[in-house]
């Protein structure tokens, strides 16, 4: 089973990573090194590219993102549900405050502040009221439902009981 996460980096770092992955073996091995290490809390760490180090944080996403891959550019195969993102920042001052474990915004603009806008909060309910309503519902379920009264099948006076009604088209004579 694959484990996947999203690595979000600033545009300047994205260019460097792309160049590093697409470059030939002409560069020295120190320039080609990528490293990601986390501290003991498992949420904050350091991302290194070449000789430069950048602060990184592991954050939970407000929703689950499905990840797919393809072998023939026509059939997609689901590979994972991604629920975490590693966010790399350029400056130490941009760091995530301690104790924050969830990224408020999703990956795309429509998911901006998604937790507050799209997902319902837990209602504040009084436990005593919940208990009373639950008790009332259980008592309601124990009651026997009234049986429906049986109505006798009586035909109305003046109708052809047993004979179907005939339309005008059935009475016409076709034997000319």
Query: How confident is the model over 112-137, as pLDDT tens digits?
Result: 887 777 776 777 888 899 999 999 99
pLDDT of 167 reads: 58
Low-confidence ranges of the chain (pLDDT < 50): none
Domains and CATH numbers, the chain: 6-118 (2.40.128)
pLDDT of 172 reads: 55
pTM attached to this predicted model: 0.58
- Angstrom CA distances, 101 to 37, 87, 170, stand at 17, 12, 81
End-to-end Cα separation, the chain, in angstroms: 84
pLDDT of 76 reads: 94
HEC-encoded secondary structure of the chain: CCCCCEEECCHHHHHHHHHHHHCCCCCCCCCCCEEEEECCCCCEEEEEECCEEEEEEEEEEEEEEEEEEECCCCCEEEEEEEEEEEEECCCHHHCCCCCCCECCCCCCHHHCCHHHHHCCCCCCCCHHHHHHHHHHHHHHHHCCCCCCCCCCCCCCCCCCCCCCCCCHHHHCCCCC
């Amino acid at each position: 089973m694959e484990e996947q996460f999203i690595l979000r980096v600033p545009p300047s770092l994205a260019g460097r990573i792309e160049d590093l992955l697409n470059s030939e073996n002409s560069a020295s091995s120190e320039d080609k090194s990528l490293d990601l290490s986390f501290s003991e809390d498992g949420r904050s760490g350091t991302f290194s590219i070449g000789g430069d180090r950048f602060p990184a944080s592991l954050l939970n996403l407000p929703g689950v993102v499905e990840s797919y891959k393809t072998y023939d550019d026509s059939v997609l195969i689901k590979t994972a549900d991604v629920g975490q993102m590693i966010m790399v920042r350029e400056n130490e001052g941009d760091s995530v405050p301690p104790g924050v474990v969830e990224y408020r915004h999703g990956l795309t603009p429509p998911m901006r502040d998604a937790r507050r806008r799209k997902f319902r909060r837990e209602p504040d309910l009084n436990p005593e009221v919940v208990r009373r309503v639950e008790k009332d519902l259980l008592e309601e379920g124990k009651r026997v439902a009234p049986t429906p009264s049986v109505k006798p099948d009586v035909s109305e006076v003046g109708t052809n009981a047993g004979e179907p009604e005939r339309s005008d088209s059935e009475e016409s004579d076709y034997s000319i």
